[in-house]
Structure 1
């Protein structure tokens, strides 16, 4: 009775566990690459598409400036105060920490509440253009998940281009143009993201929204990732299933939000007027207090983690994949061409795991005692014996214990299936019975085998030779308890 009650409760737990595995929190299913579920064949791995969580990618960036000597302070120079272009007694001096403005101050924590910033030299060589390229490199493919935000301390530039690279800076393409006059600067009609649609979301535009000149309240420039997501997921991004479906089926859309490097091309500083005041050139320069880039490591839906080693980011690949982006199958797992995971079907996606090569079948090392065969089957997995689990069939399911010849059912258990009539459980393998008892659980009297019956004194525990044993003896009240 106890055993059947235990098995019923175990079956209920299995059912609840299996159900819970299929109802993760909203969009959390892409945070789990695989999970174990119970089927009629036993406990097996269920593989899913997965990806790392989004994070502040600025923590892992490397920044370079071109020209390299464009930062102010070497030699020291004075510049005009923000908001008061005729008060020009501020000093930039690279040899003094309080007066220096090096590039790393674009990314320090104080930049979120600006009191520190990077600053270029002033436009002292006018009319020669004052131009700077700021390159942000990750040495890793990343997927953008939020707006790129750049905070200027010098007024937003009159002309600027945000560019991206997908091949580690070998080639570049524009993301967006910024200007006070798009037609004059780039021969483009001005547009905003709100002018786009699902069909034109990949269009490269020039916007005049962020280039209003030399004003204290006009510091921030955006590249609007979320507004582009909204064309597919709705204004509040409540329908992410639609967005994921589009990303899965439209490669150009997915690549649009994918980068290895960003480049900020500053082409003309904020002037706030049509003509440059040549008598006060110290008022013209670039200064940036903060850059924000949020995204996730691109792992082709084959990893939940992304770690940093030797200042490089690597995906912690699952699904028998490998490489910085999980972009290829492991050795001996090239039984079919590598493929990225798929967001579809919603909600779990498709893992598209790499399977063993035909030449490697007979090698992935199935445990000879736990597996039906000593080699993988044609799907690349070991076929486990009853009560056995694990990728190599070297682990036991609940209710089984590993013996020298594999997983065997527990004969006894100190907490659940106890030996009866005072017997002692030895290593879950057998019951050590008192002298008068025998059987797997010490449930039988030895005297039953005696031709003289049980009337003779057979030691401790002598009982009547009646064919009907007392109920307490049958139930084993000395050790067994009932729910």
Structure 2
């Protein structure tokens, strides 16, 4: 029994090794900003590009509706279903918790039954457009990492636009147009994400794929496909992240395409069931959204591996002697060279591009990797070593969380005659 088991384990190990060699970046997530090690001169810190883990960003947003009184329930209103105009037993009443449908229900946990959802007033002012703007604001620069998914409890809108802002809502650019008839609604040719290539990735398209009436639950969703766009560089299963990171690192327009401070959902025309609008029963026509998913990470310019939410605001916990909400400038007394964002390259550790103390002398040995501070009296660039385990502890003096290298790890990697160097800010 042991011999076949050993062969199986050996085959498994070879498979893992081959996968590691073929897809090196799937094992490196830029999750450490620095690691501790030793050189001939003594203890040193090695610096790497780092970024926070991706997370559900809907936990940290502020939602605004325009017009402000577009939510149903004030006054109470009865609705009919789109499929059956005679089934009119759905009531919305803002004064009753069980019957209210406020905006925050677009972002709550959706494991319950019945489903919770936000709902608009009905199309009672037809033929005037039933237009609604839903704006999601983070007051922070966000990098998208997964598809934006909007789940409708009503029929999906016949016309809709998803927009983005990079300047906190001062200006807006379209991300994607959605319609049952793109040519009629927006004078655009209908396309899907499958029509996009590496050369046309930044093109804004109109799609008819998400505007049909629904039969199954999956047909309730409207998507903006982030991962399909990533796959143009990283491959169908996103295994070749090195290629994607290389493109993001060297192409600012591509990087900005996946970066936002705000999103806006513009609902322009509700579902009508592919028929003429029944003016005698306008309570059939409305918008209802049960869930919005936005996954991403704080943009920290590859100078932080964590982002905190404090006093209703997201802020990067900056490393590499940087500061600011996005780690976008050097700290005071660390301005010996101009600030620069970190780099994903070379794969898989990247380049930290740390800010240097003003007292640094003119002799600096450059190389392709990160710059490390050897000790209090010596500053020299070092090659980034393999990452080592880290622990998170509370720093009572500064009142914030700070990451330090675990002292237990020194048993196996640190020189016994040297204590660990002090952790830089």
Same fold (TM over 0.5): yes
Q: Distance in 1 between matches of 2:111 and 2:64?
A: 18
| Distance in 1 separating the partners of 2:273 and 2:419 | 79
Q: Deviations over 1:204-258 (max 9, x none)?
A: 0000000013656531000000000000000011111111111101111111000
1:40-77: CA deviation from partner (whole Å, max 9, x where unpaired): 22221110000000011111111010000000000001
Shift of 1:305: 0.6
- 2:49 aligned residue: 49
Structure-1 separation of matches of 2:66 and 2:419: 66
Aligned-partner Cα distance in 2 for 1:220–1:192: 15
User: What secondary structure does 2:122 align onto?
Assistant: coil
Over 3 Å counting, the alpha-carbon distance change for 1:398 and 1:281 in structure 2 is: same
Residue 181 in 1 paired to residue 199 in 2? no
Give the conservation status (yes or no) of the 8 Å contact 1:214–1:272. no
Query: Does 2:362 align with 1:344?
Result: no
Matched, 1:290 2:291: yes
CA deviation digits over 1:148-184, x for unaligned, max 9? 0000011100000000001111110000000000011
Residue 287 of structure 1, CA deviation? 0.2
- Whole-angstrom distance in 1 between the partners of 2:213 and 2:76: 26
Shift of 1:399: 3.0
Distance 1:29 1:214 in 2: 38
Q: Would the aligned equivalents of 1:107 and 1:290 in 2 still touch at CA under 8 Å? A: yes
Partners of 1:201 and 1:380 in 2: CA distance: 37
Give the Å deviation of 1:134: 0.2
RMSD (CA atoms): 2.5
Q: Which runs of 5+ in 2 are unaligned?
A: 1-23, 362-374, 383-403, 405-413, 421-425
**Deviation for aligned residue 1:272:** 1.7
Task: Verify the 8 A CA contact 1:241 1:346 in the aligned structure 2.
Answer: yes
| Aligned CA distance change for structure 1 residues 305 and 177 (closer, same or farther; 3 Å) | same
Corresponding position of 1:193: 193
Counterpart CA distance in 1 for 2:296 and 2:313 is 16
> Aligned equivalents of 2:170 and 2:111: distance in 1?
30
When residues 316 and 96 of structure 1 are mapped into structure 2, their CA distance, relative to the original with a 3 A threshold, is same
**Rounded Cα–Cα distance in structure 2 between residues aligned with 1:401 and 1:48:** 22
2:311 — aligned with what?
A: 310
1:255 counterpart = 2:273 = no
Q: Does 1:105 align with 2:123?
A: no
Q: Confirm or deny that 1:398 pairs with 2:416.
A: yes
Matched, 1:279 2:270: no
1:89 deviates by 2.5
Paired position in structure 2 for 1:33: 33
Answering whether residue 96 of structure 2 is matched by residue 96 of structure 1, we say yes
CA distance 1:221–1:72, shift in 2 (3 Å): same
Q: Using a 3 Å threshold, how does the CA distance of structure 1 residues 113 and 296 change in structure 2: closer, same or farther?
A: farther
Following superposition of structure 1 onto structure 2, how do residues 84-483 of structure 1 map, counting pairs within 5 Å?
A: 84-110=84-110, 115-213=115-213, 217=217, 218-358=219-359, 398-399=416-417
The question of whether the paired residues in 2 share the 8 Å contact of 1:302 and 1:321 is answered with yes
| Structure 2 Cα separation of the partners of residues 175 and 313 of structure 1 | 24
Which runs of no fewer than 5 residues in structure 1 stay unpaired? 1-23, 362-373, 382-389, 391-395, 403-483
What SS does the aligned partner of 1:246 have? Answer: helix
Change in CA separation of 1:263 and 1:188 when aligned onto 2, cut-off 3 Å: same
> How big is the shift at 1:379?
5.6
* Distance change in 2, residues 1:397/1:205 (3 Å): same
How many residue pairs get matched?
355
Evaluate the alpha carbon distance shift between residue 229 and residue 380 of structure 1 in structure 2; reply closer, same or farther with a 3 A threshold: closer
Match of 1:11 in 2: none
Hey, what's the Cα distance between the residues in 2 that align with 1:307 and 1:236?
Answer: 31
Aligned-partner Cα distance in 1 for 2:29–2:161: 37
* Aligned 8 A contact 2:82 2:273 in 1: no
The CA distance in 2 between the partners of 1:222 and 1:120, in whole Å, is: 20
Q: Higher relative contact order at CA 8 Å, sep ≥6: structure 1 or structure 2?
A: 2
- What does the per-residue CA deviation read over 1:310-350, in whole Å, with 9 as the maximum and x for residues that have no partner? 01111111000001111110001111111100000111100
